[in-house]
Amino acid sequence: MNIDLSGVLYAQLKEAEGKYKAALAKNDIDGVKKFAQICANTEKQLAQKVPDQMKAHLDKAKRWEEAARTAGTAPPKKAMVERGEKSGQTEEDFSSFGESLIQTSTVTWKDIGGLAETKNLIMETVVIAGLNKPESIKPDKGILLFGPPGTGKTLLAAAAAGSLKATFFNVKTSSVMSKYFGESTKLITALYESARKHAPSIVFIDELDSITMSRDGDQGEASRKVLATLLAELDGFQDKKSDKLILTLSATNTPWSLDDAVLSRFPKRIYIPLPDKKACQDIIRIQTKGLDISNVDMEKIGDLCVSNHYSGRDLQNICRDAMKSMTRRVNKEIFDNIENMAELPFEELQKKTLKAGPLSMEDFTQSIARVKSPLTPDDLKRHEVWSKQFGAT
Ligand SMILES: Nc1ncnc2c1ncn2[C@@H]1O[C@H](COP(=O)(O)OP(=O)(O)OP(=O)(O)O)[C@@H](O)[C@H]1O
Ligand SMILES: [Mg+2]
């Protein structure tokens, strides 16, 4: 019998890479040699176990061997250090970093309840960039979305990716903030180079605050450099003459932690508030798509959601919870018999179907009683005050 060992090998590789990086950070040359060699050996084994990626694994094995051989002699830049989510790459691979962030999404504008103005603004920006226009009219380069957690900021970016004909780069702040030897600044440069190459492009930087907040000690120095590079890219002096769209879309739920230098690069700062009554109703309809909610008093539910300060994320949880209650109610034969069902082989379970029935008002009121908004009135006030003072559309 063939046993697939690739999962174990990938885990082994990850562990060895972690130890390699730790050794590198401590300048422990023996450790660097040892763990680079382990990585090389593991890559070779992976080349055997995963034939369709044999060449890639053998290439990486070669580079790890090189890293083991030159440990302590090569300048740190040549060493194999973390680059975003990919590891085991060498200097020449920077150009592929930008490409690796390109994403597609199946979310569209229709999946978003409320926020009509914000959706329009993002669409407008992309359309203006595409149209022929007088030289002095330029599309916006930076849009900052801010507001309490769970209000749909990341979802908006996903919908932009799913609906607009632009290349979408999804930047996880943590992956850019790899802290070895100032690599992060090169990642930002590589990212915007790719964005220019694939324009029109949208670069989405989620949780922007985490680049600007950690400003103490060594990492502080690294984040300052990253920030400076990012700001230079946002100024976009390389493509001042070009009218290609490179829109940087950013999101944060702590806008007050951003400094003036960052804010000034985002001329459009859009408050994404908690949903109002109509938006709450829309979000519930979206989250329960395909199910019968005609027995639910949406007027009353809408009012309850607003007075409880629910975010879109809370509403998603409420709908999931309500759907669970409905499922239990209409599939009694399954749930009253759950212990026996749990013993059935998976293939047997796959032959049975879970029924869906109408959602009742009670399903919702019970879920609403269970779900509490994590936000305090002070949190909301802080967003509103900041929005009045610094928001700009
Ligand atoms: N306006 C909305 N319409 C439909 N669903 C929404 C809306 N807002 C939030 N949701 C639901 O809540 C989930 C969380 O939203 P999202 O991740 O976009 O919040 P966020 O504003 O980015 O929060 P955070 O600040 O914590 O990152 C979404 O996946 C979606 O299911
Ligand atoms: Mg988010």
Our answer on whether the CB atom of 379 is closer than 6 Å to any ligand 1 atom is: no
d(CA 9, CA 3) in angstroms, rounded, equals 12
At residue 384, does pLDDT exceed 60? yes
Taking the centre of ligand 1 as the mean of its atom positions, its distance from the CA of residue 150, in whole angstroms, is 4
Asked whether residue 281 falls in the same domain as residue 349, the answer is yes
Asked whether residue 50 falls in the same domain as residue 135, the answer is no
At residue 133, does pLDDT exceed 50? yes
Looking at residue 210, what is its pLDDT?
78
Our answer on whether the CB atom of 313 is closer than 6 Å to any ligand 1 atom is: yes
Residues 73-121: tens digit of each pLDDT: 754 433 333 333 344 444 445 667 777 788 888 899 999 999 999 999 8
**363, 322 contact by CB (below 8 A):** yes
**154, 188 contact by CB (below 8 A):** no
Asked whether residue 161 falls in the same domain as residue 230, the answer is yes
Looking at residue 125, what is its pLDDT?
83
Q: Which residue bears the tokens 């950070």?
A: 25
d(CA 180, CA 24) in angstroms, rounded, equals 9
Taking the centre of ligand 2 as the mean of its atom positions, its distance from the CA of residue 253, in whole angstroms, is 8
Taking the centre of ligand 2 as the mean of its atom positions, its distance from the CA of residue 198, in whole angstroms, is 25
Ligand 1: which atom is nearest the Cα of residue 156? 18
Taking the centre of ligand 1 as the mean of its atom positions, its distance from the CA of residue 199, in whole angstroms, is 27
Looking at residue 320, what is its pLDDT?
96
* Residue 299 vs residues 26, 44, 293, 370: alpha-carbon distances, Å: 62, 63, 12, 20
Residue 117 belongs to a domain:
yes
Ligand 1: which atom is nearest the Cα of residue 148? 25
* Residue 306 vs residues 9, 13, 207, 273: alpha-carbon distances, Å: 51, 49, 26, 12
> What is the span of the domain harbouring residue 253?
109-271
Asked whether residue 206 falls in the same domain as residue 316, the answer is no
Taking the centre of ligand 2 as the mean of its atom positions, its distance from the CA of residue 156, in whole angstroms, is 9
Q: Which of 223, 242, 271 is the last residue of a domain?
A: 271
Looking at residue 91, what is its pLDDT?
44
Q: How many domains does the chain have?
A: 3
Q: Which of 107, 112, 155 to mutate to test the pocket of ligand 1 (most atoms within 8 A of CB)?
A: 155
Our answer on whether the CB atom of 172 is closer than 6 Å to any ligand 1 atom is: no
Our answer on whether the CB atom of 316 is closer than 6 Å to any ligand 1 atom is: yes
Taking the centre of ligand 2 as the mean of its atom positions, its distance from the CA of residue 364, in whole angstroms, is 25
Our answer on whether the CB atom of 155 is closer than 6 Å to any ligand 1 atom is: yes
Looking at residue 261, what is its pLDDT?
84
Residue 381 belongs to a domain:
no
Q: What is the mean pLDDT of residues 239-247?
A: 68
At residue 2, does pLDDT exceed 60? no
Residues 144-198: tens digit of each pLDDT: 999 999 999 999 998 988 888 888 998 877 666 654 446 777 888 888 888 888 8
Our answer on whether the CB atom of 149 is closer than 6 Å to any ligand 1 atom is: yes
Residues 208-238: tens digit of each pLDDT: 887 765 444 444 666 677 788 888 888 865 4
Looking at residue 242, what is its pLDDT?
60
Residues with CB under 5 A from ligand 2 (ion): 153-154
Per cent of the chain over pLDDT 70 is 85
In the chain, the amino acid numbered 124 is E
Confidence band of 53 (pLDDT split at 50, 70, 90): confident
At residue 240, does pLDDT exceed 60? no
Residue 210 belongs to a domain:
yes
Looking at residue 259, what is its pLDDT?
81
Q: What is the mean pLDDT of residues 39-68?
A: 86
Looking at residue 25, what is its pLDDT?
83
Residue 92 belongs to a domain:
no
CATH of residue 305? 1.10.8.60
Taking the centre of ligand 1 as the mean of its atom positions, its distance from the CA of residue 148, in whole angstroms, is 10
